[in-house]
Amino acid sequence: MNTIKWPGQQTLQAWRHDFHRHPETAYQEHRTSQRVTELLQSFGLEVHTGLAGTGVVAVLRGKRGDGPSIGLRADMDALHVQELNNCEHKSVNEGRMHACGHDGHTTMLLGAAQALASNPDFAGTVHFIFQPAEENEGGARTMIEQGLFERFPMDAVYSMHNWPGLPVGTAAVHSTAVMAAFDIFDLTLTGKGCHAAMPHLGKDALLAACQLVTQLPALIAREQEVHKPAVLSVTSFNAGDTYNVMPEVIKLRGTVRCFDMEQRARIEQRFRDAIAATCTLHGLEAQLDYRVSYPATINHPEHADICAEVLTQVLGEGNVRRDLKPSMASEDFSFMSQTRPGVYIWMGNGEDSASLHNPKYDFNDNVLPKGVQYFVELVYALLRDGKLPKAG
């Protein structure tokens, strides 16, 4: 009987540090994709490239013959952040860093691919999905649009994200909602500019924009059901460039986040109503570009129970949280999990970890072996032990 050849800590750490040192942002992950491809091929896997440009999918068929097909997904892209760490594996790419831990996610899935390739003791097929452009650009959606699930049929798909604040050696599994839907907007208000000493000669877009920004939170606080969380945030306000001129054009941008899709539509409509009312009151014109971006990431309960069971075996009794509230952050794995059943879990990155997207963040290398083991044991549970829930 074959035994599993687990990648050692030093090997995993070397891979992760290499990815961290050479971060690449959305759809530019050329070096990362090439390195991932080389490693997967060295494990003896069937490797496909080109989906979403830099995406990679590797296929491993079990030695027990035909059976279900599942996907395991990791994101590869970095962020436009200037790293402030001084570690040896600090980013060498100016203005770019792995500030969200995708270097760790990619490493853990590579480790699982190597381990499973050494002993594919299951019936069915595993697809290892290395996805570009998770950060804001919807790489998962692009892979799906370009035929991910047609070329690589899957009965279910699974992913994970490291989670600062959770101790290393713990994880969280949600039964349903995990991450919020994410929309973005750009709003331009146009009035009539004038001398600051003679505001009666203009149409004050600046005053109207300020009123709108302070009024918008009421769309959440006073119009949405309290048990359905939502957030509307104006994150950029651009107006004027001198002391004695009332600006003619004001530009705002921001985000809307929630979990309920009907609620999402109501918020957008009331947002548009508020803009129209403000413009009517102040005699302004408005141009709104409202873009529906990521849907909410919703786990499938039966699959979540299996993932929690596997994690308990890997991490130990009492180290798997089922009670954490979902996050208002967003994740484009949602495109996959709304197309196929699946689960997105959080793996603890340490209570003292810098937050995600922080310039001093770094993935905790101690998490790497546990992430590899989780993916491997999940595959065995689903495809060897027959725990994959039946469709429908």
- Per the annotation, binding residues are 100, 102, 135, 161, 357
The residues, ordered by sequence, that sit 6+ positions from 283 with a Cβ below 8 Å of its Cβ are: 191, 192, 203
CA distance linking residue 262 with residue 173, whole number of Å: 25
The residues, ordered by sequence, that sit 6+ positions from 193 with a Cβ below 8 Å of its Cβ are: 202, 245, 246, 247, 248
DSSP 326: P
How many C-beta atoms surround the C-beta of residue 57 within 10 A?
Answer: 23
CA distance linking residue 351 with residue 145, whole number of Å: 38
What the block records as the tokens of 104 is 């760790």
Point out the annotated binding site for Mn(2+). Answer: 100, 102, 135, 161, 357
Give the CA distances from residue 266 to residues 79, 185, 273, 327, in Å, rounded to whole numbers and listed in that order. 32, 15, 11, 21
CA distance linking residue 312 with residue 301, whole number of Å: 16
- Tally of CA atoms within 13 A in the half-sphere of 134 that contains its CB: 28
- Tell me how far the alpha carbon of residue 63 is from its chain's centroid: 33
The residues, ordered by sequence, that sit 6+ positions from 294 with a Cβ below 8 Å of its Cβ are: 138, 181, 182, 330, 331, 332, 334, 335
